[in-house]
């Protein structure tokens, strides 16, 4: 060997040249997979051939038996070093261009790595269940839920996914969904798993709160029924007290007539008072359930009140008919007891299935706003319970207006 190079440095030089050859080979393969330009790939190939040629020539300077190229003499070892450094610089630059292109451009590996970085589990499979593509998150979910790797997407869905929600032992809740996608290779299944741990916890809390609200609603309904029953009993007691007081007044008036030998006019007044009380006793507050409108008008005439009804009458058995009869009964009672009138005017108006009943009388005008109590309160409660409205006016004279849908009694 003409070129005098220490054996240790010569061995390192050969090793470095061999590493450069492998690096150049990697760059050529990477450029082909990256679909780089033709001239870039050819340049990388020429650099690979040049590096391999330099390696063989360097080996031949040591006159190694069986070398691929004939031995050559190197008179100045600086040429060898310069060639090696130039080759190393070009190889390093080419390697970095391959890496930089991989970072800046899409490739199958880039898509795969990005797919695996998703926080959501996702899996694509054909209709037979063969997995085409799945990321690490979906594989982890399958392994944690079933203890088996994700090989059959249909079996995984039938076992775990069909439940909709999946809570793992770690406490994480996943919402699993599957749908069919139409692609160039045909229809495929897409299974997704989204982390809904917080949302699921909130839903459970809302469900628990809803159950508590239902229990409270049941208790309130029971309380409302109790209040209604108590109010009804209170009204019955008040009615009994009024009847008792009214009969007491009649008895006192009759006794006074007997003791004082009253005249005929006073006796007529007492007799009229007895007729009114006996008639009111014969017509219960809920008479609309058993008495017809005609019987109600006859009862009103008996107590000295003539009911003048104008307009159509709601059909029998309807809610409007029942509330109309209740309104007439209440107004007849108030006309006799409070207004001291002799006529009740009832105007009925029909608009489709909507009925309006307006009641006025020829009695005394109220001194002020009418205070609802007893019959009016009961009538308002019944009307509003059926979805109707009730308006009481005191000026320029007493008027009661009732509006309700026709409906049907249950």
With bands split at pLDDT 50, 70 and 90, how would you rate the model's confidence at 67? very low
164-222 pLDDT per residue, tens: 778 887 778 888 888 888 887 788 898 888 888 888 778 888 888 888 888 888 777 77
How many Å apart are CA 192 and CA 119, to the nearest integer?
11
Classify burial at 247, counting beta carbons within 10 Å of its beta carbon; exposed 0-12, middle 13-18, buried 19 or more: middle
Q: Say whether pLDDT at 48 is over 90.
A: no
Q: Say whether pLDDT at 305 is over 60.
A: yes
Helix (H, G, I), strand (E, B) or coil at 410: coil
216-272 pLDDT per residue, tens: 887 777 776 676 667 667 766 766 676 666 777 777 777 667 767 666 777 777 777
How many Å apart are CA 346 and CA 22, to the nearest integer?
110
Element (H, E) at 192: strand 186-195
Structure token pair of residue 361: 């009388």
Q: Which residue has the higher pLDDT, 362 or 97?
A: 362
**How large is the angle between the packed helices 264-282 and 197-260, nearest 10 degrees?**
150
Residue burial 67-78, b: 16+ Cβ < 10 Å; e: rest: eeeeeeebeebe
How many Å apart are CA 273 and CA 320, to the nearest integer?
32
Strands (E), 233-387: 306-310, 343-351, 354-361
pLDDT of residue 290: 44
With bands split at pLDDT 50, 70 and 90, how would you rate the model's confidence at 348? very high
Residue burial 40-49, b: 16+ Cβ < 10 Å; e: rest: bbebbbebbe
Average per-residue pLDDT in the chain? 77
Taking a C-beta distance cutoff of 8 angstroms, is the pair 385, 361 a contact? Answer: no
CA atoms within 13 A on the CB side of 21: 14
Cα angle 272, 274, 279; round to 5 = 95
Asked if omega into 396 is within 30° of 0 (cis), the reply is yes
Cα end-to-end distance, the chain, whole Å: 121
CB atoms closer than 10 angstroms to residue 203: 13
Determine the average pLDDT of the residues in 155-168: 77
81-135 pLDDT per residue, tens: 777 778 788 888 888 887 777 676 666 666 677 777 788 888 888 888 888 888 8
How many Å apart are CA 34 and CA 148, to the nearest integer?
36
How many Å apart are CA 90 and CA 93, to the nearest integer?
5
pLDDT of residue 75: 53
With bands split at pLDDT 50, 70 and 90, how would you rate the model's confidence at 55? confident
Taking a C-beta distance cutoff of 8 angstroms, is the pair 253, 270 a contact? Answer: yes
Taking a C-beta distance cutoff of 8 angstroms, is the pair 381, 290 a contact? Answer: no
């Amino acid at each position: 060997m003409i070129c005098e190079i220490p054996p240790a440095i010569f061995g390192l030089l050969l090793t470095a040249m061999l590493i450069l050859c492998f690096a150049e080979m990697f760059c050529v393969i990477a450029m082909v997979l990256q679909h780089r330009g033709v001239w870039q790939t050819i340049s990388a190939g020429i650099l690979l051939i040049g590096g391999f040629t330099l390696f063989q020539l360097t080996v031949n300077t040591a006159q190694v038996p069986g070398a691929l190229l004939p031995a050559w003499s190197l008179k100045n070892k600086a040429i060898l070093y310069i060639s090696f450094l130039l080759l190393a610089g070009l190889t390093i630059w080419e390697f970095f261009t391959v890496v930089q292109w991989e970072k800046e451009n899409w490739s199958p590996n880039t898509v795969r790595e990005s797919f695996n970085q998703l926080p959501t589990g996702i899996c694509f499979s054909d209709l037979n269940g063969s997995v085409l593509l799945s990321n690490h998150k979906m594989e982890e979910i399958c392994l944690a839920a079933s203890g088996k790797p994700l090989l059959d997407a249909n079996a995984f869905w039938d076992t775990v996914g069909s439940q909709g929600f999946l809570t793992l032992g770690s406490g994480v809740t996943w919402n699993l969904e599957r749908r069919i996608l139409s692609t160039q290779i045909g229809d495929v299944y897409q299974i997704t798993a989204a982390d809904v741990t917080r949302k699921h916890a909130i839903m459970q809390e809302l469900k628990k709160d809803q159950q508590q609200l239902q229990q409270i609603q049941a208790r309130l309904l029971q309380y409302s029924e109790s209040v209604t029953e108590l109010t009804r009993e209170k009204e019955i007691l008040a009615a009994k007290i009024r009847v008792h007081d009214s009969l007491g007044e009649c008895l006192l008036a009759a006794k006074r007539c007997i003791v004082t030998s009253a005249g005929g006019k006073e006796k007529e007044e007492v007799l009229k008072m007895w007729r009114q009380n006996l008639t009111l006793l014969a017509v219960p507050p809920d008479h609309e359930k058993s008495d017809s409108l005609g019987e109600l008008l006859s009862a009103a005439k008996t107590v000295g009140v003539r009911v003048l009804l104008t307009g159509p009458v709601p059909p029998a058995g309807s809610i409007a008919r029942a509330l109309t009869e209740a309104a007439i009964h209440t107004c007849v009672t108030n006309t006799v007891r409070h207004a001291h009138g002799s006529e009740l005017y009832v105007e009925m108006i029909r608009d489709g299935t909507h009925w309006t009943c307006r009641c006025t009388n020829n009695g005394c005008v109220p001194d002020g706003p009418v205070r609802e109590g007893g019959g009016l309160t009961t009538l308002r409660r019944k009307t509003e319970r059926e979805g109707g409205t009730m308006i009481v006016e005191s000026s320029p004279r007493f008027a009661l207006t009732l509006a309700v849908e026709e409906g049907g009694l249950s």
